[in-house]
């Protein structure tokens, strides 16, 4: 199911998007966001610039550029936050716009060894704390 770009959270760059996450970088073919819900410290999302539903809709050059953007953000996450592992999620069941959830996992942290929760709604930070995470990420991009 392909959604209408006029109704797409990422394409419209609307208030709902900004209530959920903070944009912190414009990359080669995508945008990087920090989730406001921080159960998984440093959780990010990378959204492709164009309105496509799935990775397989991109040609080889676009796909490689998008995956390079995803790798660039996960590399920054690894250097900034030192998680044991970063989980990748690309679901798009209800919002058909290519994007990857990037959830850092820490030994003895929430859901370590299992699947991360989409929106546990438990951990929110102050503006200053979000800024610290963003600055740490940007320093490694």
Q: 79-134, pLDDT tens digit by residue?
A: 999 999 999 999 877 778 999 999 999 999 999 999 999 889 899 999 999 999 99
Q: Which residues are CB-neighbours of 91 under 8 A, at least 6 positions away?
A: 101
Domains of the chain, each with CATH number or no CATH: 5-110+130-140 (3.30.428.10)
Residue 18, H or E segment = helix 15-20
Tokens 């979000």 belong to 130
Sign of the dihedral defined by the CA atoms of residues 104, 109, 115, 121, in that order: negative
Phi-psi label, residue 111: left if phi above 0, alpha if psi -120 to 50, beta otherwise = left
Q: Which tokens is 81 given?
A: 């936050």
Tokens 């199911």 belong to 1
The pTM of this model reads 0.95
């Amino acid at each position: 199911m392909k959604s209408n770009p006029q109704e797409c959270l990422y394409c419209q760059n609307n208030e709902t998007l900004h209530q959920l996450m903070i944009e912190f970088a414009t990359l080669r073919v995508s945008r990087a966001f920090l989730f406001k819900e921080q159960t998984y410290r440093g959780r990010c999302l990378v959204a492709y610039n164009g309105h496509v539903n799935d990775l397989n809709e991109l040609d080889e050059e676009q796909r490689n550029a998008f995956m390079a953007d995803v790798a660039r953000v996960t590399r920054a996450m690894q250097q900034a936050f030192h998680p044991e592992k970063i989980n990748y999620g690309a679901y798009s069941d209800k919002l058909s716009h290519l994007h990857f959830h990037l959830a850092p996992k820490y030994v003895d942290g929430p859901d370590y060894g299992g699947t991360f929760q989409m929106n546990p709604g438990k951990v929110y930070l102050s503006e200053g704390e979000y800024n610290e995470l963003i600055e740490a990420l940007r320093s490694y991009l």
